[in-house]
Amino acid sequence: MTDFATATPARLNAPALDAAFLHDPYPTYARLRAAGPVLWRDDVFQGAWLLTRHDDVELALRDPRFSSQRTGGWVKRIPGVDASFAGRRAQAGLDAFQRLFGSAMVFLDGAEHRRVRQAMAAGFHPTLIRTLRPEVERLTEELLDGLDARAGFDFIAAVARPLPSRVIAHLLGIDSADEARFMAWSDDLAAFIGALQPTAAQLRDAQRSLLQMVRYFDALLPARRAAPGTDLVSRLLAAQDAGELRPDGELLAQCAMLLFAGHETTRNLLGNGLYTLLAHPHAWARLREDEAGMTLAVRELLRYDSPVQYTGRRMAADLTLHGTTLRRGDLVIALIGAANRDPDRFADPDTFDIGRRAGSHLSFGSGAHVCIGAGLSLLEADVVLRAVLRRWPDLATVDAQPRWNGIAGLRGLAALPVSVS
């Protein structure tokens, strides 16, 4: 087998990860899959192995030799960091950012991950999520009531951005009136986390926003401790008091990342989902006739155009995969978006089929790190898409070419103008 670690771009004929890729990554994924199951790229996080096939991506998500915890250190290797964070104060801020970043559940492994996940699990129990449906429906109808479909509106700005922000605020027990700040913080973190080659400027913006999020939650804690409720922040405080979370910022890190993740991925699921349905009129018409098919349709939407396109792991031990040795410490990028279009797992994978039942998408991850908020995201997508379908069965997109957010790892639309003629 070719040693892709030493192959030149010419030998690999490596497809460019450029503006065309950000607009539509799936042709590039197909070329990467055809080039080989394990590929090295110098232009991804200063050097990383790419996995493109479903079985290999699932292996990386499930096997403890692929470590989540070890990925936190890459932030200090970003080009320009030394110059941008010169001085004791700047370095202290960067250290605080990295500690908080590395304390989030998504960047923990093994017993540490299980401990934090257990502390958070009650807040995402399926029974509790089901009780949220009336509130999600109320918030959705409130947003839709203010829209004039004949005049047209931007679905992303009007619904997909504010709704997840309000839902996660409700779950956390915080004031949704602060949603403009929530969304701005989320934007900065998304631009950093979702970049294939983050810049020092993106790191500075992400650091500022994460620290502001932590200060926001820290200011809430005294009042919440004095008068606890049933919200998730109160639950996490109780877990900290019981010794399940460490009193070193671990609670604040979970709150901040929940606010980000609960907003960012769901808004992209809503936007990508509605765009895909409207781009496939036969599917939209089929759901008009049988709305009960929405549950299966949302599953296919996640497979067809995943909001999370990849996740990173760092090798905790040497592993030979398809004849290529991945060394301890190597960075591995598991391309979820490519895995979800793998023809070895899905028949006719580039076809959008709301009746598809075979195969399992990896958009929420797999194994120990499967997305804890998956049930909430599914609920929001189901409620919103049903509500839009009922109100405006003749809804259509206005622009033939949508404008994407340009973030490789967190794929979503920057805008989705729609109207009813």
Q: For 169-178, what is each residue's pLDDT tens digit?
A: 999 999 888 8
The mean-pLDDT minimum among 61-70, 151-160, 270-279, 406-415 falls in: 61-70
Q: Say what the pLDDT of residue 83 is.
A: 65
Give the H or E element holding residue 320: strand 319-321
The better pLDDT of the pair 45, 313 is held by 313
Distance, CA of 92 to CA of 249 (rounded, Å): 15
Distance, CA of 145 to CA of 380 (rounded, Å): 17
Give the H or E element holding residue 67: strand 66-67
The mean-pLDDT minimum among 190-194, 197-201, 223-227 falls in: 197-201
Q: Say what the pLDDT of residue 2 is.
A: 36
Distance, CA of 393 to CA of 20 (rounded, Å): 32
Q: Say what the pLDDT of residue 272 is.
A: 97
Give the H or E element holding residue 141: helix 133-145
Q: Quick one: average pLDDT of 66-84?
A: 71
pLDDT over threshold 50, residue 1: no
Q: Quick one: average pLDDT of 86-112?
A: 83
Q: Helix 200-226 and helix 250-279: axis angle, to 10°?
A: 110
Q: Say what the pLDDT of residue 365 is.
A: 95
Q: Quick one: average pLDDT of 196-214?
A: 90
Distance, CA of 165 to CA of 324 (rounded, Å): 43
Beta carbons within 8 Å of 95's beta carbon, 6+ residues apart: none
Sorted by where each starts, the structural domains of the chain and their CATH numbers stand as 9-101+110-419 (1.10.630.10)
What is the per-residue pLDDT across 348-404, written as a single tens digit (0 to 9) for each?
999 999 999 888 999 999 999 999 999 999 999 999 999 999 999 999 999 888 899
pLDDT over threshold 80, residue 343: yes
Q: Which of 67, 76, 123 is nearest to 251 (CA)?
A: 123
> Do residues 231 and 214 touch, judged by C-beta distance below 8 A?
no
User: Strands 331-335 and 310-315: what pairing?
Assistant: antiparallel
pLDDT bin (cut points 50, 70, 90) of residue 72 is low
The mean-pLDDT minimum among 73-77, 192-196, 288-292 falls in: 73-77
Q: Say what the pLDDT of residue 370 is.
A: 95
Distance, CA of 62 to CA of 65 (rounded, Å): 9
What is the per-residue pLDDT across 35-52, written as a single tens digit (0 to 9) for each?
999 999 998 888 999 999
pLDDT over threshold 70, residue 86: no
Residue percentage of the chain with pLDDT more than 70? 93
Q: Say what the pLDDT of residue 95 is.
A: 80
Q: Quick one: average pLDDT of 299-314?
A: 97
Which two structure tokens, joined as six digits, stand for 189?
């973190």
pLDDT over threshold 60, residue 13: no
Distance, CA of 180 to CA of 394 (rounded, Å): 31
Which two structure tokens, joined as six digits, stand for 307?
């909001």
Q: Say what the pLDDT of residue 82 is.
A: 66
Q: Quick one: average pLDDT of 279-287?
A: 96
The average confidence (pLDDT) of the chain is: 90
CA dist 55 to 49, 94, 300, Å?
15, 36, 19
Q: Say what the pLDDT of residue 100 is.
A: 85
- Residue 216 has a CB neighbour count (10 Å cut-off) of 18
What is the per-residue pLDDT across 127-138, written as a single tens digit (0 to 9) for each?
999 999 999 999
Q: Quick one: average pLDDT of 100-125?
A: 91
User: Strands 331-335 and 48-51: what pairing?
Assistant: parallel
What is the per-residue pLDDT across 239-250, written as a single tens digit (0 to 9) for each?
999 999 988 889
Distance, CA of 212 to CA of 199 (rounded, Å): 20
The mean-pLDDT minimum among 84-93, 152-161, 295-304, 316-325 falls in: 84-93
Residue percentage of the chain with pLDDT more than 90? 76
